[in-house]
Structures are given as structure tokens and as C-alpha cells.
Structure 1
Amino acid sequence: MARITAGVSTSHVPAIGAALDLGKSAEPYWAPVFKGFDFSKRWIAEEKPDVVFLVYNDHASAFSLDLIPTFAIGCGEEFKPADEGFGARPVPVVHGHPELAWHITQSVIQDDFDLTIVNKMDVDHGLTVPLSLMFGQPEAWPCKVIPFAVNVVQYPPPSGARCYALGKAIGKAIRSFDQDLNVQIWGTGGMSHQLQGPRAGLINKEFDNKFLDLLINDPEAAARIPHIDYVREAGSEGIELVMWLIMRGALEANVDLLHRFYHVPASNTAVGHLILKNGG
């Protein structure tokens, strides 16, 4: 049967991708960010996941105000990097795992979660930046990737509790898949940041680190954080952290913390990153 071996959470700041693509990762401003992923690259090279189930949010690349799915799963064979207005990132095409994606879709919908099924879409920095942080700049991504897009852009986004419960249903689905696969769950986005208005540039280190503590040790409490607290404490874009709860919900209650990293700033955002070994 398929097994979930680890959960990974990471920010997906677009400027990180640009820094990497433009050869600026060793510059003094960016070097501390990329150094925080040195362990992660070594670790994942040893782990060799077969599939990454990657939770992210689209930034008006595949979807728009004409169509806003709350939860959308990519069931296609491949997904090309999106042109976000300045050309597509020079990264490999993402190859999906349709058999596992369809199995998850059927199982989760039968567990009363409504998913939008997407067979063709381009994937933007929300998905490709985490892959670059973890795998570097290979000619091809070394594993299959199932994109799972969550609406945290247009009001109303799903609650943390809903995302956490969905993660449990996704974990159940993966564990019932009858192939021997090493699967990782990634939750991306965040941490605290606000891109507009009088509070543009807001970063709340105290909230961010408390959230990391809860995600590791008390995810039930993290799932109870109301939307208004994310907005007040972490800024309007801090709501992206609910996607990390999908990752955590898919794991066992007990996990081993393998790596924790937090850095301010990267562009106008706080960068957070965890690696959790499942079933610690």
C-alpha cells in the first residue's frame, strides 16, 4: 500500500524563484534563505519520494474571477509552468500521477468533500518555487507531483478546521492506494505577510513561530484559529497558512521534527519551513 512518509511546509515567495532563476541565490540578501534549505535538499535526495502531493494556491494563472474552485485537484498527466506575465519560469514540466490522483478524488468525494477535478492547467510559482527550494535546478523533477490548489485569494477561503479535516481524508485516501509508493504531503504559502493597504509589509514573528509550534505539537489547536486572527495577526495574505493544515491533517497525530527554519525577510514576507517525519 502507499505510505505517507513525511510532511513538508514551506513558503512559496515568487521572488525566491526569481533569485534562483537569475543566479542571485549566493548574494548576501538571499544566501540566508537558501541556506535554510541545505538540510532539506540532502534529506530529500536520500528519501527519494515517488509522489509529492503538493498543496498550494493559484495566483490567477490557471483560475480567475470567472472560476474560483475552493479545492481543485490536478488529475492530468503533466502540468506546464505558467507564464505569470514575464514568461514561464525555466523549470521542468511537472509530471502528475493520474492513478493516485483519481483514487484520492474518488475517496475524498465519497467522504463528503467537494473537489474540482482539473485535467489541464498550468502551475505557477505557488507550486514551482517549493519544488525548486527542495530539489534545486534539475533537468527533470525527480518525482511525480499531484497539484492541489486551494482558494485563499478570493473571499471566502476555507477555514483552517475544514482544511485540517480535508487533510485527514486525503491521508486516508493515500494510505488505501494499492501501490507501494513513498508519498510526501507538502503544504505551501505564508507565512505572515500583507501586500497592500496601510499594513503592507507586515510581518509578525511571534505569530509565525507560535503557529509553527502548534502545527508540530498541537495541530487541533492550530485548526481552531479563526480567519479574523490570521488577518489581524498575520496580514491579509497570512490566510495561506490554512494550506499547511491540509498537510498536517494527512499525517499521524505524532510526528518527529526533522528540520525547522524561519527567516525574515524574503522580499516582503517571512519564510517558514518544516520537515515532519510521519508517525514519530
Structure 2
Amino acid sequence: MARITAGIGCSHVPVLGFAHDHKKTQEPIFKPAFDGFDWTRKWIKDEAKPDVVILVYNDHASFFDMKIIPTFAIGCGERFGICDEGFGPRPVPDVEGSPDLAWHIAQSLILDEFDMTIVNEMDVDHGLTVPLTMMYGDVPEWPVKVIPLAVNVVTYPPPSGNRCWALGEAIARAVASFPEDLNVQVWGTGGMSHQLQGPRAGLINAEWDNRFLDKLTGDTDELRMIEHVEYLRETGSEGIEMVMWLIMRGALGKATKALHRHYHVPVSNTALGHIVLEPTG
């Protein structure tokens, strides 16, 4: 049967995509951010080798807009193109889907009382492509199939952390019931603390971010109970993206251990967080 073997948390800071695409990764302003992914790139290539990644991200009004705002949307197509976010599409490969597994997960989640939006044709933006770049670098084709799972954290009301954690648990049940032998990872992206507008633009709360990273490990589930107002107060208006990490954590089961961890500020005007987790029970 399919199995979830690891989870990855990763910020999807758009400037990291810019730095990679313009060969600037070794410049002093960007090098510390990219160096923190060296371990993961080697691990994912030499050891982990996932067949499919369920990649939890948010669309930044690139494909979805104010006309349609799904709380949770799952991409069930065979291929996903790259959005034009105002400067043309990023020069990265299209994303290959895993429709058989995606449709299985969609059915399982809906019967498990999660009202998923099913999307068969979709382009993806930096929320999904930057994490792939950070893990795989410059490749002619992504060496993994991807199931995009888009979450609304752009406009009110976003889902609660508790609902996201529970969705992760439901995803784990869905994957475990798929008969094909697949190595599956779940990635939660976005965050960490940042605010892009208003009087608190540039807010970074490293202490809060690192407590969040601490509590992703072990057997505690207290992160699922953080209220929206705490994310907004402590991590800025865009820090709410961290609820997407809780889908990843919920999918890993009762307990986890960290295989690798990286935190760096500043990247653009945001904090960069990254963690690799392994389920332990």
C-alpha cells in the first residue's frame, strides 16, 4: 500500500525563485538561505526518493481570484502549468500530477466529510514551484509527481489550524488505503512570520517562529489550537500561512522527529523556515 514516509515544512518566499532563476543563489544576500537546503537536497535525492509529493500551498490570486475562493482544493489533473505572476511564467518545468492517487484521496476525503474542491485544469504559482526549486534545484523535469493541495489563506475566513491538522489526518487515512506501493511525502509550505503591508510591514518574530518549529516535533498537538488572532498578532497578516504546515504535521501521525531544520532572516522582508520530519509513531 502507499505510505507517508516524511513531511517537509518550507517557506515559499518568491524572491528565492527569482534568485535561482537569475543565477544569484551564491550571492551573499541569498547564499545563507539556500545553504540551509543543502542537506535536504542530498537526502531527497540519495535516500528519501519520494514517488509522489502532496504539496500544500496557497495560490496568490494567480489562478484563483475573488470570483472563486475554495477553502481546500485538490489538483487531480495529469499536468499543471506555471502561472504568469506579472513577469511571465517562471522558467521551470510544468508539474506532473498523480491523478490516480489524487482522485483516490479526493474520494476518501469527501466521504470522510471534507468538502474538497476538485480541480482538473490548474496552473500553479510560486507557492508551489519555489519549494520544488529549493528541494530539487535546476532540473529539466521535476523528478517527482505532485498533487497540489491549495488552501485559502489569502482572504477571510481561512480554515482553522485544528481543521487543517484534521485534514492531514484524513489524508493519511486516504493514502494508507491506496493499494499501489508508493513512497509519499507531504509538504506544508508558506510562512513563516511576515507582513507585507501596513504599519507593521516587515514584521518578523523569530522567537515565535522557532517555538512553532519546536512544537512540530514530538507527540504534542497543541499547535492545532492556535487561534487566528494569535497568528495575526504575533506573526503578521501573512503568518497565517503556517496553518498549511499543520496539514503536513497532521498527516504524519501521533509523533515525529526532526531530521533537519533551518531558519534564516531576513529573506526579502520575511522569515525563512524549513524542517524535515519523520513519523515515529
What interval of TM-score do these two structures reach, taking the shorter chain for normalisation? over 0.9
Residue matched to 1:143: 144
Residue matched to 2:32: 32
> Cα deviation per residue 1:8-34 (whole Å; 9 max; x = unaligned)?
000000000001100110000000000
Aligned-residue offset at 1:61: 1.1
> Cα deviation per residue 1:54-77 (whole Å; 9 max; x = unaligned)?
000001111000000000000000
Paired residue secondary structure (1:236): coil
Distance 2:67 2:79 in 1: 24
Q: Which runs of 5+ in 1 are unaligned?
A: none
Distance 1:152 1:121 in 2: 18
The answer (yes or no) to whether the contact 1:219–1:248 under 8 Å persists in 2 is: no
Residue matched to 2:122: 121
Paired residue secondary structure (2:188): strand
Residue matched to 1:130: 131
Aligned residue runs from structure 1 range 152-167, under 5 A: 152-167=153-168
Residue matched to 1:242: 243
Distance 1:60 1:146, change over 3 A: same
> Cα deviation per residue 1:89-127 (whole Å; 9 max; x = unaligned)?
000110000000000000011110100000001000000
Same amino acid, percent of matched pairs:
66
Distance 1:81 1:135 in 2: 17
Distance 2:4 2:126 in 1: 25
Residue matched to 2:229: 228
The answer (yes or no) to whether the contact 1:19–1:30 under 8 Å persists in 2 is: yes
Aligned residue runs from structure 1 range 73-152, under 5 A: 73-152=74-153
- Is 2:49 the partner of 1:20? no
Aligned-residue offset at 1:218: 4.9
Distance 1:217 1:254 in 2: 5
The answer (yes or no) to whether the contact 1:219–1:245 under 8 Å persists in 2 is: no
Aligned-residue offset at 1:256: 2.2
Q: Which runs of 5+ in 2 are unaligned?
A: none
Distance 1:262 1:217 in 2: 19
The answer (yes or no) to whether the contact 2:216–2:256 under 8 Å persists in 1 is: no
Aligned-residue offset at 1:279: 2.5
Paired residue secondary structure (1:245): helix
The answer (yes or no) to whether the contact 2:219–2:255 under 8 Å persists in 1 is: no
Match for 1:51: what amino acid?
A: V
Match for 1:161: what amino acid?
A: N
How many residues of Structure 1 are paired with residues of Structure 2 in the alignment? Answer: 280
> Cα deviation per residue 1:151-210 (whole Å; 9 max; x = unaligned)?
000100000000000100001101110000000000000000000000000000010001
Match for 1:279: what amino acid?
A: T
The answer (yes or no) to whether the contact 1:190–1:238 under 8 Å persists in 2 is: yes
Residue matched to 2:271: 270
Q: Where in structure 1 do 4 or more consecutive aligned residues deviate above 6 Å?
A: none
Distance 1:151 1:135 in 2: 26
- Is 2:45 the partner of 1:42? no
Distance 2:154 2:103 in 1: 26
Aligned-residue offset at 1:219: 4.6
